Structure 1
Amino acid sequence: MKARQLLHFLAVLLLAVLSLAAPAGAAGPVQATLDVPAKELAVGEPILLTLQVVHPPDHRVVPPDLGEQWGAFVVVSQSEPATIRNGDGTVTTSMIIDTRLFAPGSFTTPRLVIDLEEEGGGRSQITVAPVTVHILSSLAADDLELHDLKPQASLPTTALWLQILGLTLFLPFALALLHRAAIRRDNKAGPELLPADLAMAELDRIAALHLPEKGQAREYCTLLSQCVRRYLEQEFAVPVAERTTSEIRGALLREGLVPEVVQAFGQFLAMMDTVRFSQYTVDLATADYLMLLARRLFEHEAAHHRRPSALSADGEKPRTKRSNPSQDKPA
C-alpha cells in the first residue's frame, strides 16, 4: 500500500516538474506554408502568394527580402505582416506577396527561407515548401505570334464607271489644292522636324491624356506602341503596318541596326503587346516608367542606331527617310 502511494506521489511530482519546465504558451515546432488561390492563371495576371508561419508567441517573423525579380516571378509588392493568436497558444503570422509571370508554362517558386527572431536574442530559420503555378497562353496552339487587329474587310459595291467619273471630276480640284499647299509650304520658314522630334511631341500628347489615371491602361500602351512603330517607319523606312513585333525586329536588322538597339525596341513593343492582348493592368508607377523608357529610346538609343558599315564616308549617319519628305527642296 505504501509502495503504491509512493509511486502516485512520484508521478504527481514528475508532472509538476514538467509543467514548471515548459513556459506558458509554449508551442510545438514552427510551420510555414506558401499558398496561391488559383493554380492556373493568364499571362500578366496577379499571382497573390499567401505566406503563413505558425510559431510560438515569443518569436517574430522577419519579412523576406525578395527584391523585384524573384526567379521567374516579378514581385510587385509585399504586404505588412499580420499576426493572430491561435487557440493552442501559438500565433500565425501572414503576409501577401503580389507577383506576376509574363510567359506561358509551369513555374515553381524559388527556395524561400524565413528567419525568426526570439525574445532572448536567438534566431532560427525555416524553409518553405515551394508551390507551382501554371500560366495559360491566350494564343491558339498553332499561333505563337502576336498579330495586330485588322478591320473588317468590305467589298466594293459602286459600279466601276461611277468611280472613274467621280475621280475625273475630283482630280482637278485635288491638284489645285495640292499646288496651293506646295506654294504655302515653300513659303513657310522654320527648321524641319525630325522623326525623333515628332515622336517626343507625341509622347507629350499621350502623357497629357492621363489615361492610366482613368484606368485605361490598354489604350495607353496602344498609343505608346503606335508612337514607337511610327518612329521606326519614319526614321528607318521600315513598313510596320500589319507586321508583328518579331517581323519588325527582322526588318530593322536587315536595315543595318545594331542588335542591341533592335532588342531594346523589340522588348518595348513586346511589353506593349503583353498589356494590349492580356488582362494585365499597369499601375501609375509602371505607366510612368514605360513613358520614361520610350523617351530614352528616342533620346539615346536612336542616336547610335546604325552599324559602322552603314555610316557615310565622313562618319556621319545617313538618314533613310525624312519625317516630312514633301519639305525637301531641290538644290
Structure 2
Amino acid sequence: MIALLLIASLAPEIYPPNPTVGDPITLSFEVETPSDWLFLPPERLPGGLKLLSAERTERGWRIVLEIRLFSPGVHIVRPPSLTFLSPEGVREIPAAPARVEVRSVSDGRMRWIKTADRKGERGRIIGLSLLIGGISTTALIAYRSSKKINPPEERAIEEIERVERMGLILKGETRKHCSLILDRVKLYLEETFGTPVRAMSTEEIGGLIDDPELISLLREGDAVKFGGRIPSKREAQLFAERAKRIVRRLSVCQKDKERDR
C-alpha cells in the first residue's frame, strides 16, 4: 500500500509543455490503486484549478485538472490531495506541485504569425488560427459539459450505490459495507456544511446538525466501525437505504434554507 501512495506523489504530466498566457493547461495524474478504490471529486479546488475528468484505468485512476495562468513566468501550481474511498475508509494521497513556465503571447503564436513573408499568407495564418481556436473552444465546452461534476448529494448517492454493487454483504463482509457507507455520509456532510465532520465525534456532529435520524445512523455506524459490532445482512442493506434517504432529505432541507436566505 505504501508503494501506491508514493506513485501519486510523482509530478503530473503537463500539457501543453510550453503554454502561453491564458492557455488552458492540463495536469494529468496517473494513480495506481486497488480496483475497489473510488475517487471522490473535491467540492472546491484552490488557485483557479478545475477538475476536467476522473476516469478508471487498468491500474487505477487517471485524474485531469485544468488551470489558466495569466502572467508570464514560472508558476508553482499546488494541486490538493487526491481523495479516495477504500474498503478501509477515506484515503488522501498528496499530489506533487507542478512547475509551469508560461510565455507571453508575443513569444508564442503571435511571433510565428508575424514571421509570415506575405500579407496574404499572414491573413491565411490568422484565419486558420481563429478557426482552430473556435473549434478548440467548442470542443472544450462540449467536453466539460460531458464531464460536469455532480452536486455533493448526487455523488454521495452514486458512491453509496457503488458500495452496494461491490457485493460485500453477499461475501459476509457487512462491517466493511457499513463502514464504507458511514465514511461516505460523513464526507457528504463535510462537503455540504463546510465543517471537518470526519474529525468530529457523533455528539459534536449532533450539536451542529439537529437531525435525530442522521445521528442514529452515525451512532450505529460507529458501533460497527469502531465498536466491533457485526450487523446482519438485512441490517447492512437497511443501513445503505437509510443513508441514501438521509442524504436526499438533508440536501432538500439545505437547498430550502439557502433559497430562504
What TM-score do you get using the length of structure 2 for normalisation? 0.44
Larger Rg: 1
- The structure that is helix-richer by fraction is 2
